[in-house]
């Protein structure tokens, strides 16, 4: 089967702009990550969960429960259902149960579905596509955590009475492309344990979503940097330290942590742009990252496709003002015609790289793109600045105890070495010094014991 590039696919999207630009959620040919050059440092968990619940519901509502006017309508409908219950008492009851301290209760997952769809919805869609593999039934288990009480049921009836439901169209459109699959199994195991425990809090769900979004993005960024030799199911080792320990240049977390991804982060924006160009094809229902494209490379290597690729290169040269040839312009097309298909692809990559590194506006955008990664995940606690050493991947006490809970699940005791191996399955590698500090930390919490018949083996106990 022959496939072909199509210059008009990407030229029609970008249009008559003087220079090509990054295609965001609304116009991307392939969607890879949800952030772009706009600064997003903190993700509000209630908005992310709300988006997930909207996506997975069979029907949804187009109203915001935090809007004072909408809340008044719901309270009035509730009063009518109760045959004239005092409106003031009803206000106090609903405010106290659902809006403690004047804000919506993050742990009431039933209520979060009624928040307004907002700018963070793209993150919810990303998490649904990537973290949950488009599994609506899995996400719906969030609803099962909180059994609906009498007041929940009453409020739900009042909402049904007051507002019209809409057929849910939130998951229509282009999905985010799955780059790395190495975490799929542990993600599902950990989530199913959390929701089955019936004791999950919004803090647990927040940490679960934040960590796996962070680690998935990190692994995917490295795979993109490896182009066609990237391996989706292979864990690329990155070393962490504990947030309270001292770090030096001799530690693995310095040399083989954030520094290992720095070059890939610098190339992230150009690599995503290259993927946009690789998807300017006659196959609109397919999405190619580098791995996919090179699996179909021979199918694209044909004369009509080569002609379209040359048109893309000439169009890009004009739009980006990227002068990569020594020859004068009227000789440019002849030079391209003498290149083979592989040389043309490499030339396209080089032109995109140059357009970012040589053009001031795009090089600035590239820095913002990289900074979004660093700022967002440092705010989540997975990156920590260590002065002149720069950023170091980091795990704090809260995250360590979270993973103790989800790794041990229903086990009462586990060998400490087994626990460390389970951390590595989740992408957290540490050196021996950090392992010793983990043992010391668990010992202080009375969560560590030695068994006399097991030599020097240490065991960690279940967190109660």
Cα(24)–Cα(29) distance, integer angstroms? 9
Residues 374 and 367: their CA atoms lie apart, in Å, by 11
Over residues 34-81, the pLDDT tens digits come to 877 776 667 788 888 888 888 887 656 767 888 888 888 888 888 888
pLDDT in tens, 101-144: 777 877 777 788 888 878 888 899 999 999 999 999 999 888 77
Helices (H), 358-411: 360-379, 397-408
Nearest to 155 by CA among 112, 85, 86, 94: 94
With tokens 């030695």, the residue in question is 450
Amino acid 340: pLDDT: 94
As to burial, measured by CB atoms within 10 angstroms (0-12 exposed, 13-18 middle, 19+ buried), residue 442 is buried
Mean pLDDT of 1-26: 69
Q: Whole-angstrom Cα distance, residue 154 to residue 148?
A: 10
Rounded Cα–Cα distance for residues 446 and 419 (Å): 16
For the chain, the straight-line distance linking the first and the last C-alpha, in angstroms and rounded, comes to 59
Encoding tokens for residue 266? 């610098």
| Strands lying side by side in the sheet with 383-385 | 241-242, 391-395, 383-385
Distance CA 336, CA 122 (A): 39
Q: How much is the pLDDT for 464?
A: 77
Would you state the structure tokens that stand for residue 21, as one six-digit string?
A: 């630009």
Percentage of the chain exceeding pLDDT 90: 49
Identify the bridge partners of residue 384 per DSSP, sorted by sequence position.
392
CA distance 237 to 431: 12
Give the long-range contacts of residues 212-218, CB within 8 A, separation 24 or more.
212/131, 212/183, 212/187, 213/123, 213/126, 213/127, 213/130, 213/131, 214/377, 214/380, 214/382, 215/183, 215/426, 215/427, 216/130, 216/131, 216/180, 216/183, 217/33, 217/373, 218/261, 218/427
Q: 224-233, 251-260, 261-270, 448-457: which range is least confident on average?
A: 448-457
Taking residues 322-349, what's their average pLDDT?
76
Query: Alpha carbon of 440 to those of 126, 241, 286, 416, 460: distances in Å?
Result: 38, 14, 51, 11, 11
Query: What is the H or E stretch that residue 167 is in?
Result: strand 165-167
Strands 241-242 and 59-61, bridge-based pairing: unpaired
What per-residue confidence (pLDDT) applies to 177?
95
Residue 326: pLDDT over 90:
no
- 148: how many CB neighbours lie within 10 A of its CB? 12
How many helices and strands (H and E) does the chain possess?
23, 8
Give pLDDT, residue 455: 58
**Cβ atoms 4, 306 nearer than 8 A:** no
Tell me the average pLDDT of the chain.
86
Backbone angles phi, psi at 3, to 5 degrees: -120, 165
179: helix, strand or coil: coil
Name the region of 381 (left: φ>0; alpha: ψ -120 to 50; beta: rest).
left
- 204 or 60, which is more confident? 204
b/e per residue, 348-364, with b = 16+ CB within 10 A?
Answer: bbebbbbbbeebeebee
Alpha helices in 121-201 (DSSP H): 121-126, 136-139, 141-145, 150-162, 184-196
Contacts of 47 (CB under 8 A, 6+ apart): 115, 118, 120, 121, 124
Q: How many residues does the chain have?
A: 464
CA–CA distance, 92 with 95 (Å, rounded to integer): 5
Q: Say what the pLDDT of residue 244 is.
A: 95
- Give DSSP secondary structure letters for 292-309: HHHHTHHHH-SHHHHHHH
Residue 155, CA distances (Å) to 4, 78, 84, 116 in order: 55, 6, 15, 17
Look up residue 61 and give its DSSP letter. Answer: E
Reported confidence tier of residue 15, pLDDT bands at 50, 70, 90: low
């Amino acid at each position: 089967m022959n496939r072909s590039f199509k210059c008009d696919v990407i030229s029609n999207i970008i249009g008559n702009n003087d220079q090509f630009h990054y295609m965001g959620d609304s116009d991307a040919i392939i969607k890879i990550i949800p952030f772009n050059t706009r600064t997003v440092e903190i993700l509000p968990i209630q908005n992310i969960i709300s988006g997930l619940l909207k996506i997975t519901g069979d029907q949804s509502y187009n109203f915001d429960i935090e809007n004072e006017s909408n809340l008044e309508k719901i309270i009035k409908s509730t009063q009518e259902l109760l045959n004239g219950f005092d409106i003031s008492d009803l206000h106090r009851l609903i405010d106290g149960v659902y809006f403690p301290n004047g804000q919506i209760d993050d742990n009431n997952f039933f209520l979060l579905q009624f928040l307004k769809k907002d700018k963070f919805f793209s993150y919810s869609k990303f998490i649904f596509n990537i973290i949950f593999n488009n599994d609506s039934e899995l996400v719906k288990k969030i609803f099962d955590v909180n059994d609906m009480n009498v007041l929940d049921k009453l409020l739900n009836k009042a909402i049904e009475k007051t507002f019209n439901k809409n057929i849910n169209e939130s998951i229509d459109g282009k999905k985010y492309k799955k780059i790395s699959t190495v975490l799929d199994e542990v993600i599902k195991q950990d989530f199913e344990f959390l929701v089955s425990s019936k004791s999950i809090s919004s803090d647990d769900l927040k940490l679960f979503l934040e960590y796996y979004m962070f680690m998935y993005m990190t692994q995917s960024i490295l795979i993109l940097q490896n182009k066609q030799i990237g391996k989706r199911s292979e864990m690329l080792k990155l070393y962490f330290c504990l947030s309270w320990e001292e770090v030096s240049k001799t530690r693995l977390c310095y040399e083989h942590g954030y520094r290992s991804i720095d070059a890939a982060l610098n190339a992230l924006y150009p690599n995503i742009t290259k993927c946009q160009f690789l998807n300017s094809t006659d196959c609109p229902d397919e999405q190619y990252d580098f791995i996919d494209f090179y699996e179909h490379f021979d199918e694209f290597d044909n004369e009509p496709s080569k002609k379209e690729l040359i048109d893309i290169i000439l169009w890009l040269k004009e739009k980006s003002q990227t002068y990569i040839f020594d020859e004068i312009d009227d000789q440019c097309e002849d030079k391209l015609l003498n290149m083979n298909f592989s040389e043309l692809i490499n030339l396209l990559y080089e032109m995109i790289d140059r357009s970012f590194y040589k053009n001031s506006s795009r090089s600035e955008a590239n820095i913002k793109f990289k900074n979004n990664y660093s700022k967002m995940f440092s705010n989540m606690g997975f990156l920590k600045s260590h002065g002149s050493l720069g950023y170091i991947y980091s795990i704090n006490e809260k995250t360590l105890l979270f993973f103790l809970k989800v790794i041990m699940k229903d086990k009462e005791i586990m060998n400490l070495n087994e626990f460390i191996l389970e951390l590595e399955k989740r992408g957290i590698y540490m050196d021996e010094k950090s392992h010793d500090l983990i043992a010391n930390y668990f010992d202080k919490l009375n969560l560590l014991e030695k068994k006399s018949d097991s030599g020097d083996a240490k065991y960690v106990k279940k967190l109660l």
